[in-house]
Amino acid sequence: MPRFRIDHVNHYRYARDIGLNYGEARLLPRATPGQQVLESRLELDPGADDRRDRLDAWGNRVTWFTLRRPHAGLAVTASSLVERVVTDPPNASPPWEEVAAHLARPIGEAEEAGADCILARECRLPSAFVPLETAALDYARASFPPGRPLLQAVADLAARIRAEFHYRPSATRIDTPLAEVLAERHGVCQDFAHLALAGLRGLGLAARYVSGYLETTPPQGQPRLEGADASHAWIAIYLPHQGWFDFDPTNGGAAGEGHLTLAWGRDYGDVAPLKGVIYGGGGHSLDVGVTVDRLAEEAHAG
C-alpha cells in the first residue's frame, strides 16, 4: 500500500499590518474507504490567539483560527502522511437512467439508509458554483445515450472534457461562469469539475466535488498528471448501494492511487482550502507551494 507525504504551504504577505484575522482552513486530509491518515498537522506563523478544530457537515476537517495581534504576513503550513488503498470500480453498473430514477424517489422508498443516502440527494441539486446550466447538460448528454451503464458514461464524459478542453492556468477565476468555460474551451481543474457536475446533476444524477492532491512525480513509466504541484479537484459519482466512485475530468479518467483526497462537498465553495475575513492590510500577495512525494516501500516496511 503506497504512502505519500503531503506538504502544502500558503504564505500571505500584506501591504500593511493586519489588526484582526479570522480564518477557516480545510487543509488536513480526511479518512476515506481508500485512504488512511497516519499523520497530519497544521501550523500557523504567527501562532493563533484562538484555534478550534471540528468537522463540517460533510465530515471534512476544519481548523478555525483568530489572530488579534498586528501582523504583516501569515504562513499556513499543512503536513500529512497518508496511505492509499485503491480498488477498481465495478466492471458493470446499472443504466444511468435507472440510477437517476432511483435517486428521484423519496428516501423512504429508496431502500437505502444513512447519511450517505441523504447527502447524495443534496448532490443532485444546483449549488452556488454549479447552476443547472442548459449548455452543460447538453454537453454531457453526448456521453449518456439511452441504456448506457452509469460508470461507463461518466468515464466517457471525463475523457471528452480532457480531449476537448485546454488546461490553461490563470485563464479563468473560480467564479468564471460555466457558459464562458464552455464557449472558450479552456480552464483549470475546478472549472472542469464544475462543468462535469452541472451536466451530471442536470441528468438527475448525484455527483460531488472533491478537492485534494496529485503526486508530484508519478512512478517510472507513467505520465505526469495535469494539475500536479498545486491543489487539485475532481468529481465523485454516486452509485446506490455501492458508494462513490472518483473520476478526474482534467486527466480524463478514473482517479488512481496518486489522487489524495482532502475534502468534498457540493462545489468549490464547500471545500475552499482557506477563507476568512481580515481587517486592515490593504493589498496582499499569496504564494502557494504543494509537494506530494511517494515514499519508498522500504521506508515503511514492517
Give the count of domains, the chain.
2
Q: Does one domain contain both 126 and 231?
A: yes
Q: For position 66, what pLDDT does the model report?
A: 97
In a domain, 91, yes or no: no
Q: For position 216, what pLDDT does the model report?
A: 74
Q: Does one domain contain both 125 and 208?
A: yes
Domain enclosing residue 29, as ranges: 3-85+273-299
Q: For position 229, what pLDDT does the model report?
A: 58
Secondary structure, 3-state, the chain: CCEEEEEEEEEEEEEEEEEEEEEEECCCCCCECCEEEEEEEEEEECCCCEEEEEECCCCCEEEEEEECCCEEEEEEEEEEEEEECCCCCCCCCCEHHHHHHHHHCCHHHCCCCCHHHHHHHHCCCCCCCCCCCHHHHHHHHCCCCCCCEHHHHHHHHHHHHHHHCEECCCCCCCCCCHHHHHHHCEECHHHHHHHHHHHHHHCCCCEEEEEEEECCCCCCCCCCCCCCCCCEEEEEEEECCCEEEEEECCCCEECCCCEEEEEEECCHHHHCCEEEEEEECCCEEEEEEEEEEECCHHHCCC
Q: Does one domain contain both 217 and 131?
A: yes
Q: For position 112, what pLDDT does the model report?
A: 60
Could you tell me the CATH number of the domain that includes residue 264?
Answer: 3.10.620.30
Q: Does one domain contain both 188 and 217?
A: yes
Q: Does one domain contain both 291 and 158?
A: no
Q: Does one domain contain both 244 and 130?
A: yes
Q: For position 299, what pLDDT does the model report?
A: 55
Q: For position 206, what pLDDT does the model report?
A: 97
What pTM value is reported for the model?
A: 0.91
Could you tell me the CATH number of the domain that includes residue 10?
Answer: 2.60.40.2250
pLDDT averaged over consecutive 10-residue blocks of the chain (302 residues)?
A: 93 92 96 95 96 95 96 95 87 94 79 72 95 95 97 98 93 87 93 97 98 79 57 94 94 93 96 91 86 77 54
Q: Does one domain contain both 280 and 258?
A: no
